[in-house]
């Protein structure tokens, strides 16, 4: 056995001995880098740790000048070390100083060294630091040396996260003062309680094994236990009711049986790792591959795999329980950097009042489950985990996207009142479910819900909605393991129509591409997928796919009216081509004696600015239109709605955007074509009030928004508002939010029922 191939095993033994010694953490770090340099025959081994601000500090070195330790700092992304930390990828080069990212630091004395191997130190998806080796000789390090350093980085990560290093490394801050954080609403509600920090990871005690057969047996047993636990989780009573969560969790079952994942685990075991270390290795490899991919769909897939890996780790080390499985306070507010949907279900739902996440947004799977459980939840809250301790008092205001950690008594008192007020308003909204949405001056408004899965349909009765204004058919495709057959699609659509009874449902044809990717469909990488091959563009290029879905919808709708809506139509020719394909399917059904819908109504979504200038040609060819305000706004202002740096820069109540909406409404009225708006702004009382002032009489939103919007309508004089909007749109520029809010206040229109000034 060569010295390099034996390096991982020798290193593990030596490093375990160092870890077991008493003494200061700094002394152990110094000993670790010395041993790595010795075993790998490297002249330099250095350890850089990440500070709370993202910079990197040299914490230990063998070979560089000792005076540089704690005195060499690299800014975020600076130098080769900074590049490794940002990309979470190793760098292996024979001449470091030729690399464009090389940053010379004279205090280190590293100018005489040429070859360079750097490895990120990762734990739970976070880069904690970087470990490097260097030599004067110009060489590219061998696979065995890379494996040795990779295994070592896993062990160093254990030391860092064990809490034995100083608070500055872990990013700790003052744990006594009150702090305020902002984030995005992912599940409505307000909660007061105590912090429980979610820590899904477990400490791995053994990394190497000489008995791969035994490790494979342990892996098989662990996988069997994992799959059984998922089956039990899906059988929970509280998850049998309506909600998108059920399909999300069904996907876990598929991932747990994914043979590709299992094969990668077996390959890692074959390299000499224990089953636990194999899980860690595969997770680290997947993170590194996925980090450059900013697609939201694949980010959610990565979280699912992380969740499964964490569960499998806990099983392999002997069923280690998290706080979720032991005692929890009755007013738990769960805090996490990120978590999978299934991980949330490990916690007793009756004790969970709130959830705060640093990385997940409203479209994440854990957000879907949080909404299903009725938990107040906020996402995208920066650097909360490092500032919170289990047991801290905390207030979560998901309606405003605010978190108060260790709040003052005044804040607690104010929010205690707000919680009582919130509960009273929810009861009031529920009482309105059977009341028509009629304004003070007699205007009848149609309120519909947006849906995407069969389990959403009970929300029709629960909310008192008038129908489904947008049924996103692509959601069923996204959660499926393979492309649904025509018979499967037909069965789903029939069930949806039966569940809706006599209420209308607008089915949007397949809208994938952009941030909605089908895992079983090959999609070429695009620089700007939101503007690329997606929606009707893709389905017209794949007519077989489009016709299969249309045939399934036509057959499922026999004897009923079918509302069929085409997404992202950009020009007249696309509508004409789509109508031809639809007619072909109608003729096919008639020829073969299949009963079709009683009536077919074809509409389009207006979400591309170009279509607004073709309305006089388009409207005579459609039976209805629906405004997709989310995409229309992002295209109008060239602001990616998934990019947090620009998503909130342009207000949906900006005069320019309202003028665009008004143009569509006016044109539709002139052609006697019904128009609905089904974007996010429809579910916000102030925004929906503005839409009514522009002339809209049909809007579609999430089921939870029906109550607040209906309450607003019942307190509104639409004619008075319309006259007011004519005035302000002629005299104001920029956002009209302030004058509209003032109108609501002066006329007692209920647009912000939960507002609280603190």
Q: Which one is catalytic: 45, 245, 422, 678?
A: 678
Which ranges constitute the DSSP H helices of 105-175? 143-161, 167-170
How far is Cα 438 from Cα 717, in angstroms, rounded to an integer?
A: 10
Q: Please answer whether residues 47 and 76 qualify as being in contact, where contact means their C-beta atoms are separated by less than 8 angstroms.
A: no
- Return the SS3 of 120: strand
Q: Which one is catalytic: 114, 198, 365, 654?
A: 365
C-alpha dist (Å) from residue 15 to 8, 29, 42, 387: 10, 10, 16, 31
How far is Cα 625 from Cα 669, in angstroms, rounded to an integer?
A: 11
647: number of Cβ within 10 Å: 14
Q: Please answer whether residues 324 and 330 qualify as being in contact, where contact means their C-beta atoms are separated by less than 8 angstroms.
A: no
Q: Check if 365 is active-site.
A: yes
- For 437, residues 6+ apart whose C-beta sits below 8 A from its C-beta are 444, 445, 446, 447, 709, 710, 713, 714
Q: Please answer whether residues 534 and 477 qualify as being in contact, where contact means their C-beta atoms are separated by less than 8 angstroms.
A: no
Strands 402-405 and 179-182: antiparallel
- Return the SS3 of 628: coil
How far is Cα 502 from Cα 578, in angstroms, rounded to an integer?
A: 27
Pick from 742, 693, 682: nearest CA to 716: 693
Q: Please answer whether residues 354 and 398 qualify as being in contact, where contact means their C-beta atoms are separated by less than 8 angstroms.
A: yes
Radius of gyration for the alpha carbons in the chain, expressed in angstroms and rounded: 29
Query: What percent helix, strand, coil does the chain show, rounded to 5?
Result: 50, 15, 35
How far is Cα 274 from Cα 276, in angstroms, rounded to an integer?
A: 5
Pick from 133, 167, 143, 158: nearest CA to 61: 133
Q: Please answer whether residues 472 and 450 qualify as being in contact, where contact means their C-beta atoms are separated by less than 8 angstroms.
A: yes
How far is Cα 306 from Cα 495, in angstroms, rounded to an integer?
A: 34
What residues are annotated to the active site? 365, 678
């Amino acid at each position: 056995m060569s010295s390099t191939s034996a390096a991982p095993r020798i290193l593990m033994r030596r490093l375990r001995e160092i870890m077991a010694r008493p003494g200061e953490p700094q002394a152990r770090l110094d000993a670790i880098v010395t041993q790595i340099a010795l075993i790998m025959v490297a002249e330099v081994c250095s350890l850089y740790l990440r500070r709370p601000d993202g910079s990197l500090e040299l914490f230990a070195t063998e070979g560089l000048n000792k005076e540089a330790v704690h005195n060499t700092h690299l800014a975020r992304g600076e130098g080769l070390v900074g590049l490794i930390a940002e990309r979470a990828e190793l760098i292996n080069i024979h001449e470091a100083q030729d690399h464009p990212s090389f940053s010379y630091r004279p205090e280190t004395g590293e100018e005489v060294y040429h070859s360079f191997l750097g490895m990120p130190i990762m734990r739970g998806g976070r880069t904690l630091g970087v470990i490097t080796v260097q030599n004067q000789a110009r060489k590219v390090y061998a696979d065995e040396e890379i494996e040795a350093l990779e295994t070592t980085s896993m062990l160093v990560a254990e030391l860092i996260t064990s809490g034995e290093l100083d608070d500055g490394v872990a990013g700790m801050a003052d744990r006594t003062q009150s702090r305020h954080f902002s984030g995005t609403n992912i599940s409505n509600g307000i909660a007061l309680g105590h912090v429980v920090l979610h820590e899904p990871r477990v400490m791995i005690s053994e990394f190497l094994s000489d008995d791969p057969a035994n490790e494979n047996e342990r892996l098989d047993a662990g996988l069997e236990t994992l799959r059984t636990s998922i089956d039990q989780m899906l059988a929970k009573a509280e998850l049998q009711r309506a909600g998108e969560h059920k399909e999300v969790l069904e996907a876990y079952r598929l991932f747990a049986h994914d043979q590709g994942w299992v094969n990668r685990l077996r390959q890692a075991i074959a390299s000499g790792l224990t089953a636990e270390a194999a899980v860690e290795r595969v997770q680290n490899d997947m993170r590194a591959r996925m980090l450059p991919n900013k697609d939201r769909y694949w980010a959610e897939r990565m979280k699912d795999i992380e969740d499964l890996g964490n569960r499998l780790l806990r099983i392999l080390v002997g069923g280690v329980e998290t706080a979720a499985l032991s005692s929890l306070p009755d007013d738990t507010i769960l805090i996490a950097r990120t978590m999978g949907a299934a991980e949330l279900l490990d916690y007793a739902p009756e004790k969970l009042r709130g959830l705060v996440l640093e990385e997940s947004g409203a479209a994440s799977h854990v957000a879907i489950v949080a909404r299903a459980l009725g938990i107040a939840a906020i996402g995208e809250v920066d650097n909360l985990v490092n500032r919170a301790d289990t047991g801290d008092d905390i207030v979560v205001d998901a309606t405003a996207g605010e978190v108060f950690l260790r709040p003052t008594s005044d804040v607690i008192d104010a929010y205690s009142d707000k919680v009582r007020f919130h509960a009273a308003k929810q009861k009031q909204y529920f009482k309105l479910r059977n009341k028509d949405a009629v304004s003070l001056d007699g205007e009848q408004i149609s309120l519909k819900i947006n849906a995407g899965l069969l389990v959403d349909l009970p929300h029709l009765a629960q909310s008192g909605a008038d129908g489904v204004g947008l049924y996103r058919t692509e959601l069923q495709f996204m959660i499926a393991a393979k492309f649904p057959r025509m018979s499967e699609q037909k069965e789903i659509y029939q069930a949806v129509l039966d569940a809706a009874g006599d209420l209308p449902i607008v089915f949007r044809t397949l809208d994938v591409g952009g941030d909605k990717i089908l895992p079983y469909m090959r999609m070429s990488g695009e620089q700007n997928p939101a503007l690329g091959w997606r929606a009707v563009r893709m389905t017209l290029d794949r007519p077989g796919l489009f016709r299969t879905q249309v045939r399934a919808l036509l057959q499922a709708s026999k004897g009923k009216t079918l509302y069929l809506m085409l997404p992202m139509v950009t020009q007249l020719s696309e509508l004409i081509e789509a109508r031809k394909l639809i007619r072909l399917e109608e003729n096919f059904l008639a020829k073969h004696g299949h009963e079709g819908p009683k009536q077919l109504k074809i509409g389009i979504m207006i979400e591309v600015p170009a279509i607004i200038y073709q309305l006089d040609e388009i409207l005579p060819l459609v039976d209805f239109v629906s405004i997709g305000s989310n995409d229309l706004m992002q295209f109008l202002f060239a602001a990616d709605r998934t990019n947090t740096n620009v998503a909130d820069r342009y207000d949906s109540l900006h005069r320019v955007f309202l003028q665009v909406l008004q143009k569509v409404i006016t044109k539709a009225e002139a052609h006697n074509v019904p128009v609905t708006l089904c974007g996010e702004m429809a579910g916000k009382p102030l925004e929906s009030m503005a839409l009514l002032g522009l002339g809209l009489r049909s809007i579609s939103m999430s089921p939870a928004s029906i109550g607040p919007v209906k309450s607003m309508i019942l307190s509104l004089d639409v004619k008075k508002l319309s006259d007011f909007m004519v005035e302000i749109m002629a005299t104001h520029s920029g956002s009209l939010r302030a004058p509209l809010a003032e109108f609501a206040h002066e006329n007692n229109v209920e647009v912000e029922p939960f507002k609280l000034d603190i």
